[in-house]
Structure 1
Amino acid sequence: MLASRRLRRNVVFLIKFCLFLAALIVAYALLFQLFMHLEGRDYGFVSGLYWTLTTMTTLGYGDITFQSDLGRAFSLVVLLSGMVFVLVLLPYVIIEFVYAPIVQAQEAARAPRELPPETLGHALLTNRDGVSEALRARLEAQGTPCVLITPDVREAVALHDLGWRVVVGEPDDPDTFRRARIKGAALVAVTSDNDARNANIVSTVRPFSDVVPVASIVGNPDSVDILELAGSTQVLLLRELLGTALARFVGGGRAAAHEIGMLGGVRIAEAHAHGSPWVGRTLAEAGFGERLGITVAGLWERGRFELAGPRSRITENSVLLLGLSAEQLERYNALVGGDVGPPGRVVIIGGGDVGRAAARALAARGIDCRIVERTGGEDPVFAGRLVVGDAADREVLRQAGFDDATAVILTTGDDDINIYLTIYCRRLRPGVPIASRATYERNVATLHRAGADFVLSAASIGADAILSHLQHGTTLMMVEGLFAKRVAVPPGLRGRTLAEAQVRSRSGCSVVAVEREDGLVVGPPPDLRLPDRGQLVLIVTPETEQRFVEAFGRS
């Protein structure tokens, strides 16, 4: 309605301007005839129009000219008014009232303010950041359309051209969510770095529906309760999650397997080969199946995942990815000595929220650590464990115990610094395990190339936590780019054995467990026939998951 009123106003103004210009040209043509008659020359009205238009447009052919000063003064008036009205105002009016509305209409078509009424099952993103971009990539790969709400039309148009679905509007305006079909949405993700703004947006969303999941991110632990009271179904303290996940990688010199989470009764665990009796052996030589009845799903080494096979060789940097029962986990840890013995010391570089969260997680496991922070005084919470100075200074690292540290965790929020320090630490201690934070997903591979053994980005942690919540805990992130996933047996596997289907060779996925009506089979043998109604627990990457769906169908 507003756009139609503006269009009518523009049309009326354009008509008035054109009529005024036409009247001015006619008046000049008549005055031309009058002044020429005073000079003793007579011209027709058409000649008057001809002279007026050539003078106003500064063409000035020179075939008709005045001889008197009065006529020449009139020529100057016509010339100057023509420069103003024809050369300046007319182009402006055409651009402002003709061209600009056309461009705006085209932009409005590319950046709509409203979704079609039949829109259902979409995810609404209220901010464009690393988490929302990672979440969009994961959801759309699974067939869930994502719509970004943005108040900036130019940004909306640019994102539309990049393939984003967008709705123009303020994310704290109830009308925006009405136009975005909030009642049919599958998820609302509130991911800005401003807790107060996030509370405002959640409070705006919740009156429309009590059942739509609303996931939000907070930076301050005190804001968790506030966001929950506002109506969030999931509140993520992202920096705390990231620090805890980075600390999970560190074994503190111990080779015990640590549980990451559970899927369908299966304990998904990781075990560092460093310090274990398996280093230098192949999986066949280590005899996991014969000695422990354990199936190794795969090996992870510096950003590279390898499906486990008899000839897979275990190195100092390998991380064994396991799907275990509770009994198998106990047997494995009893064999390698569990969490006994000297825990070693971990050096954490970066004393912000992520670094301190990592320190708390390590302390809970009885692992000592030192935090290196460029600035700041002694913190009573970390008394005796904070070393102030530049981590690029060899003496500062020595004071932190770097020379005999069992692992290093890099937690600064600057990817450039983390890459620099990864190279530096790897040069000083080629064999020390290094875990690093990445702010942007695009830098994960670079950090691995620089020498980091384990890299996690805040974007991935947040996106995967939201996705797992949305899918009711059927997805578990193990490391960056590697997931444990619980899915129903797809049509292409029903009634077939794993050997017949060649799941590993055709998809690159590893089946670590099968849920049947008669119970759970952890580490299923190749000749196990899969049920028509059952669940699989898979180890997948985004690429292998896509190949699995293409090969065997969607569950």
Structure 2
Amino acid sequence: MADQKDKRSTQKTPKKRTVVRFKALWVLLGLLILLIGLYATIFQILMTQEEQRHSWADGIYWVVVTMSTLGYGDITFDSYPGRIFSIIVILSGVTFLLVILPFVLIQFVVMPWMERRSESRVPRAIGEDVEGHVILTKISHIEESLIARLKSVDMKYVVLIEDYDEASRLHDLGYKVMLGDWDDPDTYKKVRANQAALFVANRSDVINTNITFTLREVAPNLPIVSTAASHASVDILELAGATNVVELGVLLGRIIAQRVLGTDATDHIVGQVKGISISEVGVSGAQLAGKTIGETGIRSATGVSVVGIWNRGRYDIATAETLIEANSVLILAGSFEQLESFDQNFKSKQNTEESVLIIGGGRVGRQVGESLRGYGLKYKIIEKQSERVLDPDHYIAGDAADLRVLESAGIRSAHAVAITTHDDDVNVYLTIYCRRLRPDIQIIARANTDRNTSTLYRAGADAVLSYASTGATNIWNTVFASDTVLLADGLEIRTLSTPDDLVRQTLATSDIRESTGVNVVAIEFAGIVETDPNPNEPIPAGSNLVLIGDEDAFVKFHDTYQNYS
């Protein structure tokens, strides 16, 4: 458990800093008093040697005026030892003046003034009228991705931070921050948790448990999504009151394994909207690759609609003429039963003799291996840190940048390689290297930040899974997927009321797809959701459109059709 604790900042709060300052001041004053006493004693000894008689009060008086450099000259030494001692007292006095005066000025005047200014910038409560907001507990790549999506739908957020310096830093960076102790119920009252839409706890497992348990006292009905680094913590976090516990490493590992395995619709349902299940499935077999969507007969055979397609990071609206490539990812919409029918008809059979090379033996890499083992596939994990080598039959200790290590792991014969390290620079490096060694191999790479996704595609990856985007998408879809489902790389499925300009028009004549870039997934009318609607039937008044597109496409839709909600 100790390893799971956050490395909290060693910086103190303003109140604690004041205590520390006073302690330091008393130490300096105590040292000064001891020094005065020592100098007064030496003064008496040297004056006795010179046969001068002075009281202890005279000695203390001489030390004070000499150290302060006043030097009235009424008491002086005649001997060389005495004069050398006087020089030492003067120098030490000057040193103390240079230390104590600036210390008192800076620590008790300047710093408190600066802290009061800084404190006034970091709020300790938010407005009572704030509601429907999302509360976060840190800023990482996942939160940055989630905040971008919240802003796109005009949802408010606040980052609840316990450490004063971290809160000030984030505030200066432009984030909406509130300062408060995570283990104090009053903090959650001040952040209006009972009026919030979602709380995301993304600290260590131990701290997440404390946050969740304390929060439940104030907001018993608030959806709480907590991350878990250890599988053993899942049950504890659920007992503490978490609505959903996300093991991000496990989640990403499973998705990477599914991209290696190919089509498996029911195992990768990313959300539901209006009763429609949305699934992303990879194409790795010859049954679908090389055909157009119309030629596959997916719709007629299963009832599933292909509403979009990813090709190496590029999203295309699915039409009957859209060509499915070997490493395409299909976005499907349909009922769970229809997706099961898709699996039965189109799921590729895996060759258990094929092997997969996994680079990186962390949580993500280990989960990729476990998932592949469950499907009966062979795999090898290359791990640089020898202490992570758990099973000699499936692990190879070494640096994946070493050709000998790659060849001993089977790079020449492997069906696919999954690059799963937590360093994007390393992942780009290894993607380029593996693509050069094996131009024909399937490469699935992990991106830890969204901005490196396109770089990894250019480096040669067939599929890139973003840790930040995957985490943010899963968190969003846990709570908000009733009307909006987030997919990869900013793609969204939204439910909007039909604009007046489209009422009684047909999809064929409306040119929605061509003019805005969004595609109609389904039409909801009178409680009935029709997937893959007839393009020649008029859109009824009072209906809702289920649309798929990216942020730019929805902006164009908004600009084109103003009267919708």
Q: 1:367 aligns with which of 361, 373, 377?
A: 377
**CA distance, structure 2, for counterparts of residue 434 and residue 203 of structure 1:** 42
2:202 maps to a residue whose letter is T
Which residue matches 1:159?
A: 170
**CA distance, structure 2, for counterparts of residue 249 and residue 452 of structure 1:** 12
Give the 3 Å change call, closer, same or farther, for CA 138–265 of structure 1 in structure 2: same
1:268–1:324: 8 Å Cα contact kept in structure 2?
yes
Taking the TM superposition and a 5 Å limit, the aligned residue runs for 1:70-109 are 103-109=114-120
Structure 1 unaligned residues grouped into runs of 5+: 7-68, 71-82
Q: 2:468 aligns with which of 459, 475, 488?
A: 459
**CA distance, structure 2, for counterparts of residue 326 and residue 203 of structure 1:** 35
Taking the TM superposition and a 5 Å limit, the aligned residue runs for 1:35-434 are 103-192=114-203, 194-251=204-261, 260-261=268-269, 263=272, 264-276=274-286, 279-280=289-290, 296-309=306-319, 312-324=322-334, 338-340=347-349, 342-343=351-352, 344-376=354-386, 384-434=393-443
1:432 maps to a residue whose letter is I
Aligned residues: 489
| Partner secondary structure for residue 402 of structure 1 | coil
Give the TM-score of the pair, scaled to structure 2: 0.73
Q: 2:478 aligns with which of 469, 485, 488?
A: 469
Deviation at 1:495, TM superposition (A): 4.3
Give the 3 Å change call, closer, same or farther, for CA 228–539 of structure 1 in structure 2: same
Which residue matches 1:58?
A: none
Deviation at 1:148, TM superposition (A): 0.9
| Partner secondary structure for residue 418 of structure 2 | strand
CA displacement 1:419-451 (0-9 Å, x = unmatched): 111111111122322111222223222222211
**CA distance, structure 2, for counterparts of residue 355 and residue 206 of structure 1:** 34
Deviation at 1:487, TM superposition (A): 1.4
1:489–1:531: 8 Å Cα contact kept in structure 2?
no
Which moves more between the two structures, 448-457 or 284-293?
284-293
2:198–2:222: 8 Å Cα contact kept in structure 1?
yes
Which residue matches 1:487?
A: 495
Give the 3 Å change call, closer, same or farther, for CA 244–112 of structure 1 in structure 2: same
1:209 maps to a residue whose letter is A
Which moves more between the two structures, 267-276 or 498-507?
267-276
**CA distance, structure 1, for counterparts of residue 248 and residue 440 of structure 2:** 30
**CA distance, structure 2, for counterparts of residue 106 and residue 99 of structure 1:** 11
Deviation at 1:211, TM superposition (A): 1.0
CA displacement 1:84-104 (0-9 Å, x = unmatched): 9x9999998877677655544
Give the 3 Å change call, closer, same or farther, for CA 527–97 of structure 1 in structure 2: farther
CA displacement 1:115-140 (0-9 Å, x = unmatched): 12222222211122222222222222
| Partner secondary structure for residue 129 of structure 2 | coil
Pairing 1:542–2:548 present: no
1:439 maps to a residue whose letter is N
1:259–1:270: 8 Å Cα contact kept in structure 2?
no
1:147–1:166: 8 Å Cα contact kept in structure 2?
yes
Deviation at 1:199, TM superposition (A): 0.8
**CA distance, structure 2, for counterparts of residue 545 and residue 242 of structure 1:** 28
**CA distance, structure 2, for counterparts of residue 542 and residue 223 of structure 1:** 36
**CA distance, structure 1, for counterparts of residue 279 and residue 531 of structure 2:** 13
Deviation at 1:295, TM superposition (A): 5.0
Give the 3 Å change call, closer, same or farther, for CA 273–461 of structure 1 in structure 2: closer
Give the 3 Å change call, closer, same or farther, for CA 525–428 of structure 1 in structure 2: farther
Give the 3 Å change call, closer, same or farther, for CA 272–221 of structure 1 in structure 2: closer
Give the 3 Å change call, closer, same or farther, for CA 172–524 of structure 1 in structure 2: same
Deviation at 1:113, TM superposition (A): 1.6
**CA distance, structure 2, for counterparts of residue 258 and residue 189 of structure 1:** 27
| Partner secondary structure for residue 404 of structure 1 | coil
Give the 3 Å change call, closer, same or farther, for CA 395–188 of structure 1 in structure 2: same
Deviation at 1:452, TM superposition (A): 1.5
**CA distance, structure 2, for counterparts of residue 183 and residue 403 of structure 1:** 57
Percent identity reads 38
Deviation at 1:404, TM superposition (A): 2.9
Give the 3 Å change call, closer, same or farther, for CA 281–466 of structure 1 in structure 2: closer
2:535 maps to a residue whose letter is P
**CA distance, structure 2, for counterparts of residue 465 and residue 378 of structure 1:** 28
Give the 3 Å change call, closer, same or farther, for CA 511–112 of structure 1 in structure 2: same
**CA distance, structure 1, for counterparts of residue 128 and residue 388 of structure 2:** 58
Which residue matches 1:30?
A: none
Deviation at 1:218, TM superposition (A): 0.8
1:131–1:191: 8 Å Cα contact kept in structure 2?
no
1:509 maps to a residue whose letter is V
Deviation at 1:166, TM superposition (A): 1.0
2:454 maps to a residue whose letter is A
**CA distance, structure 2, for counterparts of residue 214 and residue 279 of structure 1:** 41
Q: 2:450 aligns with which of 434, 437, 441?
A: 441
Which residue matches 2:516?
A: 507
Deviation at 1:216, TM superposition (A): 0.7
2:121 maps to a residue whose letter is R
Deviation at 1:225, TM superposition (A): 1.1
Which residue matches 1:522?
A: 531
2:196–2:222: 8 Å Cα contact kept in structure 1?
yes
2:308–2:315: 8 Å Cα contact kept in structure 1?
yes
**CA distance, structure 1, for counterparts of residue 198 and residue 338 of structure 2:** 38
Give the 3 Å change call, closer, same or farther, for CA 256–188 of structure 1 in structure 2: closer
**CA distance, structure 1, for counterparts of residue 344 and residue 246 of structure 2:** 35
Give the 3 Å change call, closer, same or farther, for CA 299–431 of structure 1 in structure 2: farther
1:456 maps to a residue whose letter is L
Deviation at 1:486, TM superposition (A): 4.7
| Partner secondary structure for residue 403 of structure 1 | coil
Give the 3 Å change call, closer, same or farther, for CA 470–290 of structure 1 in structure 2: closer
**CA distance, structure 2, for counterparts of residue 360 and residue 526 of structure 1:** 45
1:182–1:208: 8 Å Cα contact kept in structure 2?
yes
**CA distance, structure 2, for counterparts of residue 375 and residue 93 of structure 1:** 50
